[in-house]
Amino acid sequence: MTDRRPPLTRFAWLAVLAAVLTIGLKAGAYILTGSVGLLSDALESLVNLVAAIAALIALTVAGKAPDEEHAFGHGKAEYFSSGLEGALVLVAAAAIVVTALPRLVQPVPIEQVGLGMAVSTLATLINLAVAQRLLRAGRTYRSITLEADARHLMTDVWTTVGVLVGIGAVAVTGWTRLDSIIALAVAANILWTGVGLMRRSLLGLLDTALPTEERKKIEAVLERYQREAGVQAHALRTREAGARRFVSVHILVPGAWTVQHGHQLLEAIEDDIRDVLPSTTVFTHLEALEDPASFADTTLDRIARSAEASDA
């Protein structure tokens, strides 16, 4: 399996096209019905368009190969896109609240309910199809940008379902304030999604360790070599940047080994880690089992440890 992803911008273009179509459809549904719930839905689709454009830019940058100034690649560009999308979601939630509150005080009748619901349902089906395609691509290619866009679109889908249910309830009960109440519930749901997206993006920018399941795969490889080759491993550190993973580990071998023997072992360990976790850059450091200094740098903050030693 190759470590290089195919270009993912085609999926971002799909999201842009879907956003343009759904904005037109939902805006038309609002004009037909006057429903503030549908207006809130159209506003969220406008956010989808901005987010899709940001995703297109981020994926273009993230797809670039490492260069002299960015030796670890450009994968973190994806976190900026998903973080921006989270912020835009929060803005959309605020806009919905500002629009819905006056209608809650002074309700406005909803008109042409059937036609408006039909148009909005079509827009929802488009979002559903695109969201599922983006989600599959995001998982396949480990793209937080595509996954964030997909989850946002799915939130839009469930939001529209809620709005349509609200409009139907208004048509049945005649209680027009229900439209504004549904819109406020939509805003709360959008707010939750935006906070989640921003949190995940910030964690990525902070070099968060790989998920527990992935770390266990690395540890299983190291444990096998400890059993079979009589070596030890410590100071395992992991992080991810977009689709790329980074692993650093110290391997302790008998001091009598030749450099060639140790090098061959490290190459085998790195290959096996990449086999269980593709798109992973592995850094190994060879140390002697008999040397006490080999056990002096196992703490996570090695810089602080070095500073303490210098002060002493």
Q: What is the tens place of the pLDDT at every residue in 205-221?
A: 777 888 899 999 999 99
Structural domains of the chain ordered from first start:
9-205 (1.20.1510.10), 212-311 (3.30.70.1350)
* Predicted pLDDT at 35: 66
Selected residue with higher pLDDT from 308 and 224 = 224
Specify the residue for token string 């993912």.
8
pLDDT band for position 110 (cuts 50, 70, 90): low
Specify the residue for token string 């070596």.
231
Residue type, 293: A
Neighbours of 65 (CB within 10 A): 8
* Predicted pLDDT at 231: 93
pLDDT at 2 exceeding the cut of 50:
no
pLDDT at 253 exceeding the cut of 50:
yes
Least trusted range by pLDDT, from 6-10, 53-57, 201-205, 288-292? 201-205
What's the chain's length in residues? Answer: 312
* Predicted pLDDT at 86: 76
* Predicted pLDDT at 299: 63
Question: What distance separates the 2 farthest-apart alpha carbons in the chain?
Answer: 87
Which residues does 237 contact at the CB level (< 8 Å), separation at least 6? 209, 247, 248, 249, 300
Following CA atoms 96, 99, 102, 105 in sequence, which dihedral angle do they give, to the nearest 10 degrees? -40
Q: Residue 201's closest CA among 33, 117, 87?
A: 87
pTM of structure = 0.60
pLDDT at 40 exceeding the cut of 90:
no
* Predicted pLDDT at 123: 82
At what angle are helices 144-173 and 36-62 packed, to 10 degrees?
170
Three-state SS for 252?
A: strand
